[in-house]
Structure 1
Amino acid sequence: MTPLSPVHVAVHANLAVIRQGIGLLAELGEARFTARIPICYNASVGGHLRHIVEHYQCFLRGLGEGGIDYEDRARDPLIEGSPGYASAIMEEISHRLTVLAATLPNRGLQIGAGTAEGLMTDTSVLRELEFLLSHTIHHYAIVAVMARVQGCEPEATFGVAPSTIKFQQTQNVCAR
């Protein structure tokens, strides 16, 4: 058996967290998805999911263009207003990543550096996949709190970093 490339492993880690998000969307319903939570900076689960989705869209677009600009997001209100639409977009991203998984090389890319106009720096496919994973899990942790505040309990590993889960398993500690 051929060992998996680091990019392949990173794509599959991202696919796993995207699937977690799709699963949560099926349980939340529109009211909890769009509700503004005052103790969470008056944000909504939908707003966080839109933010996550648009980062993946920027990454996928950037693969074709050779450069990624995470600031150049559409900020599509339909993604944060409709859990069904958000789920469909996440399914599309999942499909695109699945198609890329086996053949995507760890090649160099350019990335926009913050808000400095025209300033680019070097990065790689693997680095950006690791960023997307970390970024998604970070937002999922906030989403998990928002869901719980509204009486919806996400799965135990939702919003928990894979390295934390592995550590907890070695310590015989519950995920929560």
Structure 2
Amino acid sequence: MKNTVIQSAVELSDQLCNLLPQLLEEQYIAPLALFNGSSIGQHTRHIIEFYQCLQASFQKEVSVCYEERKRDLAIECNLKEAILSIKETAKWLKTIHEPFYSMNLVVKDYQNNDMNEWSTPTTLAREVHHCNEHAVHHLAIIKIGLQHYFPTIVIGEQVGVAKSTTAFQKQQS
């Protein structure tokens, strides 16, 4: 696993696997006012499903379309299922030998009850990068919720912080 984008994805999986076992099931599924009623479980599911959608598309050799992800409530409502799913995703990521494998991305854009669809060539590495940036964004939201509602949870310094932000901050100091 020499590719840094793949390594970053595994590191993000590790961040989630370090956070989630600290939570009680009730904390994981609790609707949080700060999140407009959504839960840490919903944000976690959302992260996981982008990687799962990419994995399924890659393995089936079909176009990836994130709008068509599963939306598996078991991941959202069951802490053990979420952790298992993250570990399975990390295991898959570690098997990637050709990150620049050519793929196709399909985007379904819903506006005013109309759906416009378009596609573009991409690579597995580019889509893993997309999933990583998406994960960082949702980890930042999860971090805010944890700090606000569950301040005893130990949160790693890098959780919810993009590597580019860390690099920029190091340049500034």
Is it true that 1:32 corresponds to 2:33 in the alignment? Answer: no
> Secondary structure in 1 aligned to 2:23?
helix
Please give the alpha-carbon distance, in whole angstroms, between the structure 1 residues aligned to 2:22 and 2:171.
31
Query: Match for residue 92 of structure 1?
Result: 88
> Secondary structure in 2 aligned to 1:54?
helix
Please give the alpha-carbon distance, in whole angstroms, between the structure 1 residues aligned to 2:95 and 2:74.
26
Instruction: Spell out the pairing of 1:9-88 with structure 2 (5 A cutoff).
Output: 9-64=4-59, 65-88=61-84
CA contact (8 A) 1:32 1:147 kept: no
Query: Which runs of 5 or more structure 2 residues have no equivalent in the other structure?
Result: 110-114
Query: Match for residue 136 of structure 1?
Result: 135
Query: Match for residue 125 of structure 2?
Result: 126
Give how far 1:144 is off: 0.4
Count of residue pairs brought into register by the alignment: 164
Please give the alpha-carbon distance, in whole angstroms, between the structure 1 residues aligned to 2:163 and 2:27.
26
Query: Match for residue 112 of structure 2?
Result: none
Please give the alpha-carbon distance, in whole angstroms, between the structure 2 residues aligned to 1:140 and 1:105.
24
Q: Quick check: 26-35 or 89-98, which moved more? A: 26-35
CA gap 1:165/1:14 in 2 versus in 1, 3 angstroms: same
Give how far 1:122 is off: 1.5
Query: Match for residue 105 of structure 2?
Result: 111
Give how far 1:119 is off: 3.2
Please give the alpha-carbon distance, in whole angstroms, between the structure 2 residues aligned to 1:105 and 1:51.
23
With normalisation by structure 2, the TM-score equals: 0.88
Q: Quick check: 147-156 or 9-18, which moved more? A: 147-156
> Secondary structure in 2 aligned to 1:89?
helix
Partner deviation per Cα, 1:139-167 (whole Å, 9 max, x = no partner): 10000011111123421111000111122
Query: Match for residue 165 of structure 2?
Result: 164
With normalisation by structure 1, the TM-score equals: 0.87
Give how far 1:117 is off: 5.9
> Secondary structure in 1 aligned to 2:94?
helix
Runs of 4+ in 1 over 4 A off after TM superposition: none
Report the residue type matching 2:103 in the other structure.
L
CA contact (8 A) 1:33 1:46 kept: yes
